[in-house]
Each structure stands twice: as C-alpha cells, then as structure tokens.
Amino acid sequence: MTGEGWRQKAGVTFVDAFFRGLAGAGRLHPRSRPEAHGLEVIRDLPYTQSGRSHHLLDVYRPIHREGPLRTVLYVHGGGFRILSKESHWLMGLAYAKAGAVVFNINYRLAPADPFPAAIEDVCSAYQFVLDHAARFGGDPSRLVLAGESAGANLITALTIALTYPRPEPFAAAAFERGVLPKAVLPACGIFQVTDPGRFERRRKINGFVRDRIHEVTRVYLPPHLPRTPEALALADPLPFLETGPRPERPLPPFFLPVGTKDVLLDDTRRLAVALQRQGARAEARYYPGGIHAFHAFVWQKEAKRCWQDSLHFTAREA
C-alpha cells in the first residue's frame, strides 16, 4: 500500500471511530433512552430478503399514538463507506419525538459495494416503508425523506428516481409506485461525487479534509461508469438537476440546512438554485459557524436552531 493509501485508510478509521464513539457516549446519557421521551424502538427489521446486516432498519415511534403519523425515511451519512443506523440513533429519536414514525436504515457501503448499491438499497427501503408504514402507525402518504452528507445525496437521488423515469430497474420500480414525499430534508450534502477538486478551486482546504473528499469519488464510483450527467444522475444529483430536463412529476419541497464553515457549503447553494430552476420550492438555511454535520452536536446553539427549523418544516409540509 502506498503512503497515500495508508494515510487515507488511517483517516477513514479515525473518522469512523470518532463518530461511533460520539454516538456511543451519547447513549450513556439518561435522556438518550427512548422511553424517557415516550418512544419505543423496534430494531433490526429486514427490508430485503438478502439476510445481510446492511439491509436492516430500526423503527422509532411514539408509544402512545393517535391516528396515523407522518412517516420519515432517514438515511445516514458517512461518505458512502462508514457509519450506520446505530451511529445515527439520535436522528431517529429526534424525528420520532416530534411525532413521526421513523425508519432509520442501513445500506451497503463502498468500497465493497460501490455505486449503485447504496441508492438501490434506498429505493428498496422506500418500497418497504410504503408497504409497512401503516403496520407501525405511520401514514405513507405523509412521507418525509431526510438524511445528511452522503445520506443527503441518496435521498436527493431517490427523489430524482421518483420524479423522473429512469432506466435503472430499481429506480423504475420505485417510480412505478407513484408516491411522492411531502418534504425532503438533505442536510450538509455532498451532491456531486465526481470532480472532488471543485471545493479546492474555491478555497484552501486542509489535507485531511481533502483526502476525505477525494476518497468519496475513488471508492464510490466504479471506474468503468460513463462520466455523463444522465448516466450518473443518481450519484451526481446536483449536475443532473442543473442541466437536465424538467421532471415528469413535480419535485417536492426541499429544506437544505448547512453550516457556513462546512467545506461542502457550495453544493447546498448550487442545489437550491438548481431545484428552483426545476420549479421546486427549495429553502436553503445557513447556520453561522457550523462545520460539517454540526447539527449532530445537539447541545450547541446553532445545532438546536437547525433542529427546530428542520422539524418545523417537516410539520408544516407533512
């Protein structure tokens, strides 16, 4: 392995350990217990027949429910190669506490399973949610898609699959269901996997962060894929929405939160413009001083404000 390869592997290991450690430490707090908020969690439900841990999800829901509740499909981040529903338990808790039935999913990760494995899994999870939301007290007609970072990319790609006819069999199957989300909340997303150097051309980036961005392209995209907006629409939703045709079905409302110190900030700015170009209502919100995934640090002022804004948007639209 080259020196660059060792450096990249060490960087991934550090990031994975940091966020898993943070999630594990958070679980020790008494307020992290679902029952402390009147919630319950049903863990490790398979959403495909593969038998793989990558195809499991957790359901978060209020214990005492009156009528069907809005339904949230949550897709975790991690550069398409690390983290899981376990590291993102807080997101399931937050949306359920606000009165939703939340399906918090795992999906296949690169480099073992590169594109399009992750978006294929997200499309499968979408179909599972439509089929089973009512069984858990959710209303599939009040569907919300949410995710951060790589998960933000994946829920935006899923929205494309639901609003544009696509040639991929898994996308076509999702499109045929005809159920559009009421709201989409992609937080601090990386909305273009190709051209990782675009961020460096705008401002100086430290080597550690640069490696993580370039790594996404290297491990997620198979080298044989044609590098065209149409072929890569479900990996590069941003260029597709910037240059592609109007959708066959109207795009749902988007809420796009991001911190002003997030290296991925420009992708959110561009996506807001692209969505508006396509006729969607897109509300971008910028939080001063917020780094990447700042909303995970829920004790901070701007993180609290981001969650308040996100949950308000969700309640208003769904």
Kindly list the domain boundaries of the chain, sorted by start residue: 3-317
Burial grade of 49 (CB within 10 A; 0-12, 13-18, 19 or more): exposed
**Does residue 30 register a pLDDT over 80?**
no
Residue 25 confidence (pLDDT): 47
Beta bridge partner(s), residue 287: 259
Is residue 290 within 8 Å of residue 46, measured between CB atoms?
A: no
- For the chain, the distance separating the N- and C-terminal CA atoms, rounded to the nearest angstrom, is 50
229, HSE (Cβ side, Cα atoms, 13 Å):
11
Q: What are 147's two structure tokens?
A: 């995710």
What is d(CA 70, CA 55) in angstroms, rounded to the nearest whole number?
Answer: 23
Strand runs labelled E in the chain: 39-46, 56-62, 69-75, 100-105, 138-148, 183-187, 254-259, 282-287
Angle at 270 between CA 269 and CA 275, to 5 degrees: 105
**Does residue 213 register a pLDDT over 70?**
yes
For the chain, state the CA radius of gyration: 18
pLDDT tens digits, residue range 9-22?
544 554 555 555 54
The CATH number assigned to the domain with range 3-317 reads: 3.40.50.1820
Q: What is the DSSP letter of 244?
A: S
Residue 243 confidence (pLDDT): 94
Is residue 76 within 8 Å of residue 118, measured between CB atoms?
A: no
Average pLDDT over residues 167-182: 98
Nearest Cα to Cα of residue 100 among 27, 158, 185, 16: 185
Residue 229 confidence (pLDDT): 83
pLDDT band at 31 (very low <50, low <70, confident <90, very high): low
Residue 28 confidence (pLDDT): 42
Beta bridge partner(s), residue 146: 74, 185
**Does residue 303 register a pLDDT over 50?**
yes
